Amino acid sequence: MARPRKPLLSRERIVTTALALIDAEGLPALSTRRLAAELGVSGPSLYNHFTVKDELLDAVADTVVGQVDLSVFDDGTDWRTALLRWGRSYRAALAAHPNIVPFLARGPGRRPAGLRMADAVFGHMVKEGWPPAHATRIGALMRYFVTGSALGSFARGFVDDAAAYDPADYPHLQQAHLLAEHQQHVDEGAFETGLQALVDGLALQYDQLSADRTATS
């Protein structure tokens, strides 16, 4: 029997299938047995590409982070605009795959795309005049903010039953049952409000640092 022109398995195919499974059913659904069944192969064949589950999850997480646009850190964009554009791209990538976010929240570890992103952010902030310690904090702050916003929906956390919000108990929640209906508008609006406030607050700190440098020079 002639060999197939393409190998039955590849790292890319395994990662793509694993991500689709996580997207559909969550992290607990991912197992060697289940993934092998989805791929139509035997479980042991997966170990030729990934020896442990966390290695596979690292590859899946890095695939998601690899979708984030980092070009803003290479095209001469000022740090404020860069943070806004990067933050939106970062959230979009994570919001498209919210079930992998808890794993991503651990940090980049040894993942290449995650480390490239951390390097790009830190390098650009320092180049733009932020002290290294502040640049590190900004990277951490943005990761906290973006991953938190992508973990779940604020609006969908409220049930769409008006009776759940008795005015005697919750006099200010009489419209809360409508939040889920407007989930995208509420959640994206909240993210934009927070992102802009974050950058505006950093701008005040940046101006103060600049003033302090001038005063001591």
Tell me what percent of the residues of the chain surpass a pLDDT of 70.
97
Per-residue pLDDT reduced to its tens digit, 127-147? 999 999 999 999 999 999 999
| pLDDT reported for residue 3 | 54
| pLDDT tens column, 173-194 | 999 999 999 999 999 999 999 9
The whole-angstrom separation of Cα 155 and Cα 168 is: 22
Mean pLDDT of the chain: 93
Listed in sequence order, the residues at least 6 apart from 116 whose beta carbon sits closer than 8 Å to its beta carbon are: 70
Instruction: Determine how many CB atoms are found less than 10 A away from the CB of residue 66.
Output: 15
Q: Are 118 and 108 in contact, with CB atoms under 8 Å apart? A: yes
Q: What is the pLDDT of residue 109?
A: 92
Signed CA dihedral, 25, 26, 27, 28: sign only: negative
For residue 171, count other CB atoms closer than 10 A to its CB: 9
Q: pLDDT tens across 37-49, in order?
A: 999 988 888 988 9
CB atoms within 10 A of CB 40: 9
Torsion from C-alpha of 52, 58, 64, 70, nearest 10 degrees: -160
